[in-house]
Amino acid sequence: MLRELEIQFQEISIRALLSTMDKIFDLLNNPEDPSFSDPDFSRKEIVAEKRNEFERAADRLYNLCSVYLELKGVPLYIKKFDEKILPLYEERKQLSKLRSTDIYGVEKSAVTDLYRQFLFSFRSLGGKDEKHLTGIDFLENILEATGRIISEKGIKPSKEADVYNSVKVICEATFPEALMDGGFHPFHKKPKCYRPDIMIPLLNCAIEYKFATTVAELTTVIEQIHADVNGYSKHPTYKFFYAVFYVKVGITTKKNFKEMWADNHFPTNWKEIFVEGEVKLTSAKKTIKANKKK
């Protein structure tokens, strides 16, 4: 069973890396992309970092594929794989520049194209199901399970940090690059620096957690997220954002929450997740609650 789980993890990670590398390649070959317009970094700096990111991803991809092929027990295929793939790495600085052209004349990364040619032999990696290419579905399963994670740890959170610190550990174990300072830089926007609770450069995702014990608090934290949307824009690495709301059981319904979220008209690259769970009220909130009962 452990071997099968390890293989599944390798497959998810390989898909995610291939997708990430393709996105970087497309970005580098599209000089008009708005990602190159950043007041804090020059275009040259962003391009250099993107090329470095491609190289790092290529290194991880080779290591993942090597382990994957070993787990699949195909030694002759590994030899053939190395003979074709390793020559590409002789000039690492050129990896993100290598290109090939398909039958329609569309340019694509020669590196990811060659990897896909080898991986096509495996049913789980030879398809074109975009849902699995980025690993986003795997991440969403973790975020949706926030309540269960908190419960299994025996925690009754009283603030946001109690929630996201518990989930961050799992994200970092699942996606090794999910570091708080991962990627190019945090979101520096004058006059403040924005720092999401969890950052996963491997998936180009950043996650904000919010905590609420009343409908009034929930309304406020939704507005806080909305106010920060512009601060999270135009980053060279992070393109997709999740806002996870951990709320006290029973304060509202998921339907009402969805309506509250919709009323704020968030950009399409933001997705909300509603989670109910047990909470620990602070002394101040206990006093307010007791006074309301009198």
Query: What are the pLDDT digits (tens) for 71-88?
Result: 888 888 899 999 999 999
Closest CA to 64 of 118, 103, 102: 118
Residue 99 has pLDDT above 60, yes or no: yes
Q: pLDDT tens digit string along 164-203?
A: 999 988 887 777 654 444 444 555 554 455 688 898 877 7
Task: Please state, in angstroms and rounded to a whole number, the distance separating the CA atoms of residues 130 and 193.
Answer: 33
Q: How far apart are CA 106 and CA 141, in angstroms?
A: 34
Cβ contact 110:100 at 8 Å:
yes
pLDDT score, position 133: 42
Report pLDDT for 4.
Answer: 65
Q: Which of 14-18, 93-97, 107-111, 249-253 has the lowest mean pLDDT?
A: 14-18
21, 131, 207, 290 from 17: Cα distances, Å: 6, 14, 19, 53
CATH number for domain 136-293, candidates 1.20.1440, 1.10.3470, 3.40.91, 3.30.160: 3.40.91
Which pTM value belongs to this model? 0.55
Q: How far is CA 165 from the centre of its chain?
A: 16
- 12-44 burial, b at 16+ Cβ within 10 Å, e below that, comes to bbbbbbbbbbbebbebbeeeeeeebebeebeee
| Cα separation, 66 vs 64, whole angstroms | 5
Q: What pLDDT, in 10s, does the model give residues 257-278?
A: 999 999 999 998 899 999 999 9
Model pLDDT, residue 113: 92
Q: Is the pLDDT of residue 3 over 80?
A: no
**Lowest mean pLDDT, pick from 147-151, 215-219, 282-286:** 282-286
Confidence of residue 211 (pLDDT cuts 50, 70, 90): very high
What is the average pLDDT score of the chain?
Answer: 82
